[in-house]
Structures are given as C-alpha cells and as structure tokens.
Structure 1
Amino acid sequence: MTTPVLGTTETRRPARAAHAAKRRPRTEALWGYAFIAPTGLGLAIFYLWPVLQTAYFSFTEWGAFGGHTWTGLDNYVRLASDPEVGQAVLNTLAYTALGLVGIPVAIVFAALINRPGLRGVSVYRTAFFLPVITMPVAVAMLWRWLYNGDYGLVNQVLAVFGVDGPNWIADPATALYALVVVGVWSSVGYNLIIFLAGMQAIPKELYEAASMDGAGRVRQFFKITLPMLSPTAFFISIVSVIGSLQLFDLVFVMTGSGQSARANPAYARLQTVVQLFYERAFVTNDRGYAAAIVIALLVLIAVLTILQFRLQRRWVHYV
C-alpha cells in the first residue's frame, strides 16, 4: 500500500471538497439575496423611504410657495392641543370599533353557506364578494344616493311603513352609523371567503365525533367551529382594524370633497384622521402639520396592532 505524497492529487481532493462545501452556503445565500433584491429595493424606495421622509417633514413647516424650515416639535405640540384632531381620532376609533360587527356577521353567513348539501354555493360566494371588487368610489356614490333624504331608496321604503327617514349623511345623529353600514356591507364578502376557507379546513372527524356524543349543530358551532376559527378571526381583526383606521374614500365621496368640518356638523362627525391629513396637506397646504398627523396615525396603528397580538396570546392561553 502506497502512502499519498504531500501535494499530490489524492491529498488535494479532500481539501477541495471541504473548501467547496464551505463556499456552497455563501453562494446559495448570494443567490437568495439576488432574488429578493428587486422586491427589497421596491419596498425601500416606495415604502420605507416615504415613511422616513414623512417623519422628517413632520418636524418642518412649509411655505406657501414651497420650501420648508425646521421647527422641531412645534407640529406635535399643536397636534396635541388641536380639538379637530381629537374629534377625528374619536370618529376613526368609533368607526373601527363599530366596523368589527362585520366579523361575526361574516362568520354566521359563512356557517350558513358551509352547510353540507347546500346548492349554489358558488353563486352565494360571488354575490357576497361582488362589493369587495367594486370600486370604492362607485360604492360610495351608490350609497350616497340610497341615503339621500329627498329621493333616496331607503327613505322611500321607510315611507311605505309611515316612517319619515332622516337625511342619513347630513344628520350628525345618523351619519356615523350610516357610514358603518356601508363599510360592513363592502367588507363582509372578503371576511366571509376567508372564514369559509377556514371552516372547510376543520377536520370532519371532529363534527362526526361530536354528533356521536349527541351535540347538535348549534353546540358544534360554539364548541368546535369558533375555537378552530380563532387564528382566522385574529387575522381578519388585524386587517379590519388597519383598514378602518385608514378610511378615506367613503368619507371623501359620500360627504363631498369640498366640505368643511367647521361649516358642517355632520361632516365633523364623519371626519377621519386620513381625511384630516388630506385637507391639511392638499387643501390648506400645511404639509408639515399633515405629516405630523399621519405619523401619529402610524403610531396609533402600531399600538393597536401590538395590543391585538397580546390579547390574542391571552385568548389562546385561556382557550
């Protein structure tokens, strides 16, 4: 048996194999970074950079003809004492809280559609999902006509029963609730499809075992369906809260773009944080203050999302 001589091919092969094994993870990592680079670059340019730029502008004051000067925390001090901002935050939080009613509504409709042997399931799913794919401006214009106090279809139906309906959008007492109905109607289809997919993923054996133990459909719904849907409901609640806090298009179209919160009490009841940001940035050209408003909204969304995550952990612990 011959002993390999130092520097020969037999001695270099293991070293080359070890070196190639070390380089392989690095090469794979480089290829991975190369594949995600376009997405990462797009996120950095179109999402991260605008956020950082807006945060910087929130500490500045803009002139009427452009240009800005550093003012420090002046915009945030003004923000904390502005009653219009406080009212807009309360309106947004109220709309968000009332809009969560759409989650149990979607669960009930999803359970009804998910019944075994039901015919025309695809038709029902399409009918519920149509408002989701309809343009928000078209939805707002349709409901603005339905809510009209003079010739709206809602008041015409109420008149048949002898009820004199109000001007739903112009009346401060009904404006917010009318807007919530539109929001729930336009989003329940999306929630229903997600819940329906979650229900169909629940093992059928659980329902069969519950039926053998004598549990009816109602008890199965509360003891099996709802606990198994808790991750889906958590996802829907996160998406719903974030979407509600960013409400703009429905208010903008249903109330009219030229409205003023000071001139119209009903509009003051509907004005959201994003709507106030739009007015300050593009109507009164107070862009530094508008940037402070939208940064405050970003912080509010982050706080509520973190709170939801903590509540979800406690819910899972108790369940």
Structure 2
Amino acid sequence: MSTETNPTGGTKRRRRLGIRGREALWGYGLIAPTALGLGVFYVWPVIQTLYVSFNSWGPFGGLKWLGLDNYRELFKDEAVGRSLLNSALYTLMVLIGIPVALVLANLLNRRLLRGKSFYRVLYFLPVVTMPTAVAMIWRWLLNGDFGLVNYLLGKVGIHGANWLSDPNTALIAIAAVGIWASLGYNIILFVAGLQSVPDQLYEAAELDGAGPVTVFFKVTLPLVSPTVFFVAVITVINALQVFDLIYLMMSTSANPALPATRSIVYLFYQRAFMENDRSYGAAIAFLLMIIIVICTAVQFRLQKRWVHYE
C-alpha cells in the first residue's frame, strides 16, 4: 500500500507557519518597549529590593549578608505593627468614599440635571491638583488654632478639635482629605460605567413600577459591579501606599499625633532615609508588596464569587 504526499498541502502549511511566525515576530517587537520598561523600572528594582532586604546597609553603602534577620526584626518591631494597623484603618475609612462616589455619579448621570459638566469639573479638580497643594490647604483648614473649619464650627457654637494634633482625630481627618481628593477620579470611572447601562432596562423597570432606590439596587448596581470592583482594587492599593498626605499634613516629626497616623510607607521612609537603614527599609517595602498582592488576590476571589452569585 503506497502513500502519496500532497505537495500543495505541504506548501500551504509551511506558508501558514511562515505567516504566523512573522505575525508573532511583529507582536513581540511591538510589546518589546513596554516589556523592557517594565523589566528595567519595575521587575529589576523589586529584585534589588529583595536582595538588599537580606543584607545590612553600612554607613557608606556596603552590604553584608544577614539572611532573615531583617524579617525577624519586622515581627518584633512594635512600630511595624502599629503602622500596619494605621494603614489598615486608613484603607477602611477611604473605602467609604466608593459608595459616596457611586451615588454622586448616579446623580450626575441623570439627563434632567442642569450643569452636569460644571459639577463634573468641580469634582475632578482635586485630582489634577498637586498633592502638596492639597495637603497644605487642608493643613491650614484643619488647624486647631486658626483653621477655617474650627472658625465655622465656632459660629454655630461648636468647639472644634485639634484635628491634626489629637491622636484620636488625626487619622480620621487625613482619611477625610483622602476621600475628598480621590472622589473626582472615582466619579469619572462610575459615570463611564453608568453610561454603558442600556436605557431600555431603566424604562422596563419604570414600567414595572420600580422606584429610584429599587432601580439603583436591582439594575444599576449589578451592572456597574465590574467598575465597583476596579475602583475598590485601585483604592486599596493607593490607600496602603499613602505617604504624601501624612508627611505634609502632620507638619513635623514632633507632632504628638504622628504615631497614630504613621503609615507603613511613612515608616519605610523614616527607617530608610531618615535613619539610613536601607536594608531594613527594603524589608518593610517588600512586606508591603506582599500585603498588597494578598489584598488584591482576595478582592479578585471575592469578585469571582460575586459574579457567580449574580
């Protein structure tokens, strides 16, 4: 029994493989600049940070291998535990801004609302404002002696607190500023998600006699849940890395409320650059990266369960 080969079929197969090879080559060439940038500016610094965290940093920059000593010290350091707790509390408080942004975005998405463009610009202004300017303005507004907030409270007979000097109110005040500063960005994302909801669903809900609250929870919220998930992930990541607001609003390291507001990133800055212990600072930074990865993975897991439930 003889077998015959089809030269035409073999030629076509080789031609298809050649086309796929050229397409793959073009694809790799197009992603090469981005991959190179990620490798140089993200992956390589992470590897360096991990290596430095296993060493001691000498006064002139020399490295000496220590193994896991820096990480053992992390679990013994009370300042690390307190900073992680402060970062967690700040994150939980900032998450309150997500439902606020969603409600405001829903109002701004209404057709009959006048001046929608003006309100959108007004809410978005803090996003394009320099963080330094935001922190300095709010530090003046929340000043316990001559701040505008206490001045207005005094007009209605309320004695204002020392917002940024009292350990009981300092973190709450900074979280309120963080919510205000991120509100515009979240609103823009939610407005974009709301505009993708078909109008026919709202019309059908109105014909069924559903009220605004029912429509929001039964129609709007399920359909914008991917946007809510994205905003939640970004908010948690940014909140865990908060530094500039605390550094600028707490004014000096002598502020008595600093231990109650010091985040894990602020502690990293203090250890690495103020005390020049770069290896211990690298261990703190790597610990923060692990925490962010775990939090993001948990959020993705919860999102999958939410979608499956829906």
Normalised-by-shorter TM-score class: over 0.9
- Once the two structures are TM-superposed, the CA of residue 235 in structure 1 deviates from its matched residue by 0.5
Structure-1 residue corresponding to 2:155: 160
Range that drifts further, 274-283 or 306-315: 306-315
- Once the two structures are TM-superposed, the CA of residue 16 in structure 1 deviates from its matched residue by 4.4
1:184 aligned residue (174, 179, 184)? 179
Q: Distance in 1 between matches of 2:26 and 2:182?
A: 40
Is residue 286 of structure 1 aligned with residue 277 of structure 2?
A: yes
Q: Distance in 2 between matches of 1:169 and 1:189?
A: 24
Please show how residues 62-101 of structure 1 align to structure 2 within 5 Å: 62-101=57-96
- Once the two structures are TM-superposed, the CA of residue 21 in structure 1 deviates from its matched residue by 2.1
- Once the two structures are TM-superposed, the CA of residue 62 in structure 1 deviates from its matched residue by 0.7
**What are the Cα deviations for residues 223-272 of structure 1, in whole angstroms up to 9, with x where unaligned?**
1111111111000000000000000110111113x41xxx5440001100
**What are the Cα deviations for residues 120-177 of structure 1, in whole angstroms up to 9, with x where unaligned?**
1111110000001111111000000001111100010011012221211011010011
- Once the two structures are TM-superposed, the CA of residue 273 in structure 1 deviates from its matched residue by 0.6
5+ long unaligned stretches in structure 1:
1-10
Q: SS of 1:240's equivalent?
A: helix
Q: Distance in 2 between matches of 1:238 and 1:136?
A: 21
1:229 aligned residue (219, 224, 227)? 224
TM-score by length of 2: 0.95
Q: SS of 1:275's equivalent?
A: helix
1:310 aligned residue (297, 301, 306)? 301
Is residue 273 of structure 1 aligned with residue 264 of structure 2?
A: yes
Q: Distance in 1 between matches of 2:199 and 2:122?
A: 27
Structure-2 residue corresponding to 1:300: 291
- Once the two structures are TM-superposed, the CA of residue 316 in structure 1 deviates from its matched residue by 1.9
User: One-letter code of the match for 1:177?
Assistant: I
**What are the Cα deviations for residues 264-305 of structure 1, in whole angstroms up to 9, with x where unaligned?**
440001100111101111110001000000000001001111
Aligned pair in 2 of structure 1 residues 21, 154: CA closer, same or farther (>3 Å)?
A: same
Please show how residues 170-249 of structure 1 align to structure 2 within 5 Å: 170-249=165-244
Q: SS of 2:60's equivalent?
A: coil
TM-score by length of 1: 0.93
Q: Distance in 2 between matches of 1:300 and 1:35?
A: 33
Structure-2 residue corresponding to 1:133: 128
- Once the two structures are TM-superposed, the CA of residue 24 in structure 1 deviates from its matched residue by 1.1
User: One-letter code of the match for 1:33?
Assistant: Y
User: One-letter code of the match for 2:307?
Assistant: V
Q: Distance in 2 between matches of 1:70 and 1:206?
A: 63
2:99 aligned residue (101, 104, 116)? 104
User: One-letter code of the match for 2:20?
Assistant: P
Q: SS of 1:289's equivalent?
A: helix
2:29 aligned residue (13, 26, 34)? 34
Larger radius of gyration: 1
Q: SS of 2:159's equivalent?
A: coil
Q: Distance in 2 between matches of 1:23 and 1:308?
A: 42
Structure-1 residue corresponding to 2:46: 51
Q: Distance in 1 between matches of 2:150 and 2:208?
A: 50
User: One-letter code of the match for 2:225?
Assistant: S
**What are the Cα deviations for residues 174-200 of structure 1, in whole angstroms up to 9, with x where unaligned?**
001100110000001111111111111
Q: SS of 2:64's equivalent?
A: strand
Q: SS of 2:166's equivalent?
A: coil
User: One-letter code of the match for 1:201?
Assistant: S
User: One-letter code of the match for 1:124?
Assistant: Y
